[in-house]
């Protein structure tokens, strides 16, 4: 699975950073990335991962789609199976099913969670709503300290302002359709679920 974006977003990142009036060092402090890593991205020497773009977008308080120059102009986005943007960390693989829509309000992902994997013991909280549909396997979703077991065909919808996390207790990978809806639209929520 490819964990990198194909377009060169370095120039766009520099423009967005300068628009905020931040130096490279200030952005590095805000997003937790090294000065050198950000500098290399801006110079086009390194392509950022999905997780890196998420960290940058969060620090800059912008939607992840802002890194794509034509994102604000698109009113329809088609994603072919072999063109999905993806990121993998600690036994969780997330494939984006759509990014780049003007005023995007939701983020759809296919997520594969390996046996024993999850997004940590520290539940996350974010704005908006979250929809989970179990395509294969089994997953346990903890919302407000209550456990919900989802088997193939089961779904869960909840307000994401409640603390939540998930893990795969089974012996087979679990495949999920996850849709995140942000109340502010377009903000990269999905990759936060890779953080443990």
Q: Where are the domains of the chain?
A: 10-62, 74-194
Read off the pLDDT of residues 10-29 as tens digits, 9 standing for 90 and up. 888 888 898 889 999 999 99
Distance CA 29, CA 24 (A): 9
* Backbone torsions φ then ψ of 37, nearest 5 degrees: -65, -45
Count of C-beta atoms within a 10 Å radius of residue 46: 16
Residue where the block lists tokens 């909840």: 158
pLDDT of 189 reads: 54
Residue 133: its H or E element: strand 129-136
What's the confidence (pLDDT) of residue 104? 75
Fold of 74-194: Jelly Rolls (2.60.120)
Q: How confident is the model at residue 89 (pLDDT cuts 50, 70, 90)?
A: confident
The label of the residue with tokens 């390996």 reads: 114
Condensed to tens digits (0 to 9), the pLDDT of residues 159-176 reads 989 999 999 999 999 999
The predicted pLDDT at position 58 comes to 80
The span from the CA of 181 to the CA of 159, in Å, is: 9
What share of the chain has pLDDT > 90, as a percent? 37
Q: Are 194 and 119 in contact, with CB atoms under 8 Å apart?
A: yes
So what's the pLDDT on residue 159? 94
Higher pLDDT, 101 or 58: 58
- CA gap 105, 174 in Å, rounded: 26
Alpha helices (H) along the chain? 10-19, 24-31, 35-42, 50-60
Q: Each residue of 113-169: pLDDT tens digit?
A: 999 998 877 788 877 899 999 999 999 999 999 999 999 999 999 998 999 999 999
DSSP reduced 3-state for 35: helix
> Are the CB atoms for 137 and 174 separated by under 8 Å?
yes
Whether the per-residue pLDDT at 1 is higher than 60: the answer is no
Whether the full predicted model's pTM is greater than 0.75, yes or no, is no
Does 10-62 carry CATH code 1.10.260.40?
yes
- The per-residue pLDDT of the chain, averaged, comes to 82
pLDDT for the residue 187: 47
């Amino acid at each position: 699975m490819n964990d990198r974006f194909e377009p060169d977003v370095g120039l766009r990142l520099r423009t967005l950073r300068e628009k905020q009036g931040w130096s490279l060092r200030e952005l590095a402090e805000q997003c937790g990335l090294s000065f050198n890593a950000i500098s290399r991205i801006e110079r086009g020497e390194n392509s950022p991962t999905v997780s890196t773009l998420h960290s940058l977008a969060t620090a800059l308080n912008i939607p992840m789609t802002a890194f794509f120059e034509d994102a604000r102009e698109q009113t329809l986005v088609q994603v072919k199976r072999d063109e999905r943007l993806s990121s993998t960390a600690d036994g969780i693989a997330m494939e984006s099913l759509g990014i780049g829509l003007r005023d995007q309000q939701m983020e759809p992902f296919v997520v594969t969670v390996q046996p024993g994997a999850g997004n940590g013991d520290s539940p996350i909280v974010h704005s908006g709503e979250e929809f989970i549909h179990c395509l294969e396997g089994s997953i346990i979703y903890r919302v407000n300290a209550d456990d919900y077991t989802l088997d193939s065909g089961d779904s869960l919808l909840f307000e994401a302002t409640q603390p939540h996390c998930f893990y795969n207790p089974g012996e087979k990978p679990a495949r999920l359709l996850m849709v995140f809806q942000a109340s502010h639209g377009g903000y990269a929520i999905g990759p936060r679920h890779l953080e443990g």
